[in-house]
């Protein structure tokens, strides 16, 4: 047996290696067998070919702005000035100057609700007046036998022309009360309110403005709690 020849089954591998070495030895002539690609067949010069091949990965997309939520539309209610039974209803008045209630009776009450930049005059003697959720409201009245209640308001002015036993101010920011000479004994009760002032008439017809205390001190005197008004240190 001749052991100098190639091993059985290895002739094909040797032929492949010999063909590869022969191609390398050609040097620059090795490129002659390559197929020439024209410019219109190159994807970087012809973007239309990209969609025919593998999908091209695009860059990150900017965040799409979400449509702004529309603000809820507030329903505008019609203004009201009417006598409903024994109650005078004054509601939803906007910029109404010179509102007057003149045909009054002792058992009637006035209820003003959500009025803005308006003035109301109540003539005669009635039972009570309530000003609720009003802004920049002016109230002028003659006589009230019960109470004038101001609640949930901002920047209101109240003027007494006759007599009033009690004025209540609750949850209100900004309230000026003009007293008459006949109403100086009026009791003013306030809670959860600020910027309250009482204007007392002088002999010359002018008014002296006095602030209503907003800060209090409470102590135990051994038998009960004692609360007194304190001045805010400047």
Q: What is the mean pLDDT of each run of 10 residues along the chain (234 residues)?
A: 47 63 58 58 60 56 64 80 96 96 96 97 97 98 98 97 97 97 96 96 92 93 93 57
**53 HSE (CA, 13 A, CB side):** 11
How far apart are the C-alpha atoms of 64 and 58, rounded to whole Å? 16
Q: Report how far apart, in Å, the C-alpha atoms of 153 and of each of 20, 89, 196 are.
A: 99, 17, 12
Q: Whole-model pTM? A: 0.67
How far apart are the C-alpha atoms of 182 and 164, rounded to whole Å? 8
Please answer whether residues 89 and 111 qualify as being in contact, where contact means their C-beta atoms are separated by less than 8 angstroms.
yes
Name the residue with tokens 């020439």.
Answer: 36
- Which helix (H) or strand (E) segment holds residue 174: the answer is strand 173-178
Strands lying side by side in the sheet with 147-151: 80-84, 87-91, 109-113, 128-132, 147-151, 166-170, 187-191
Please give the class, per CATH, of domain 80-229: mainly beta
How far apart are the C-alpha atoms of 230 and 220, rounded to whole Å? 16
pLDDT score, position 231: 74
DSSP-H helix ranges across the chain: 11-25
Name the residue with tokens 């010179």.
Answer: 98
How far apart are the C-alpha atoms of 21 and 98, rounded to whole Å? 112
pLDDT score, position 62: 61
Give the distance between the most distant pair of CA atoms in the chain.
149
Buried b or exposed e, range 200-212, using 16+ CB within 10 angstroms: beeeeeebeeeeb
Domain coordinates in residue numbering, the chain = 80-229
How far apart are the C-alpha atoms of 142 and 101, rounded to whole Å? 11
pLDDT score, position 5: 45
How far apart are the C-alpha atoms of 173 and 192, rounded to whole Å? 9
137: which strand partners?
A: 118
């Amino acid at each position: 047996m001749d052991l100098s020849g190639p091993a059985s089954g290895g002739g094909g591998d040797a032929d492949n290696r010999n063909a590869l070495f022969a191609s390398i030895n050609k040097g620059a002539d090795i490129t002659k067998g390559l197929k020439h690609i024209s410019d219109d067949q190159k994807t970087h010069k012809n973007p239309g070919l990209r969609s025919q091949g593998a999908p091209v990965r695009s860059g990150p997309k900017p965040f799409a702005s979400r449509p702004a939520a529309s603000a809820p539309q507030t329903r505008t209610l019609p203004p009201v000035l009417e006598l409903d039974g024994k109650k005078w209803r004054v509601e939803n008045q906007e910029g109404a100057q010179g509102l007057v209630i003149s045909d009054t009776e002792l058992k009637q009450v006035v209820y003003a609700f959500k009025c803005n930049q308006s003035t109301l005059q109540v003539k005669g003697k009635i039972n009570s007046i309530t000003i609720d959720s009003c802004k920049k409201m002016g109230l002028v009245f003659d006589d009230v036998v019960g109470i004038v209640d101001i609640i949930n308001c901002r920047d209101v002015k109240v003027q007494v022309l006759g007599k009033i036993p009690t004025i209540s101010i609750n949850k209100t920011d900004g309230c000026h009360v003009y007293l008459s000479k006949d109403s100086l004994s009026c009791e003013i009760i306030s809670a959860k309110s600020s910027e309250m002032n009482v204007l007392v008439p002088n002999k010359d017809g002018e008014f002296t403005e006095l602030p209503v205390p907003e800060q209090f001190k409470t102590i135990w005197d051994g038998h009960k709690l004692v609360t007194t008004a304190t001045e805010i240190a400047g």
